Amino acid sequence: MCDCIFCKIVAGNIPSMKVYEDEETIAFMDIAKDVDGHIVVIPKKHCKNVLDCELDTLYAVMKTVKNVSLHLTEKCGYDGVNLLNASDESAGQSVPHFHIHIIPRQQNDEIDAWPKFNGARNDIGCTFEKIRM
């Protein structure tokens, strides 16, 4: 068994408040107590992040993200959602198991879920030439 906290949730060794579960994914309440309704969606199959996640696993996670997000907006009184992901430690990933945070939103909820950036350092054209596929 994998020694990560999310794998332990999948195995049932750590309790969680499951919002949704299917054969490939679990959605559960985040225990951070930072935003009402904060949910984490993970694949049951361990992968570190989106960079090493197989496409079928990624699809399953995103399908669950959409289903849970629709439930929040159609049945629970929320207007929209923020989806948050950090892939790799350099991006701020703290749990090395691929996951997507769903932050339910309501008009004028005063939640600022968008990161503050200091501004680009390089010319956009130079960056474009570097990263285009």
Task: Return the active site residues.
Answer: 99
d(CA 127, CA 112): 28
Number of residues assigned to the chain: 133
Q: Which phi and psi angles does 47 have, rounded to 5°?
A: -145, 150
Do residues 60 and 42 lie in contact, with contact meaning Cβ atoms separated by under 8 Å?
A: no
Side by side, which strands form the sheet with 39-43?
Answer: 18-21, 25-29, 39-43, 100-105, 80-84
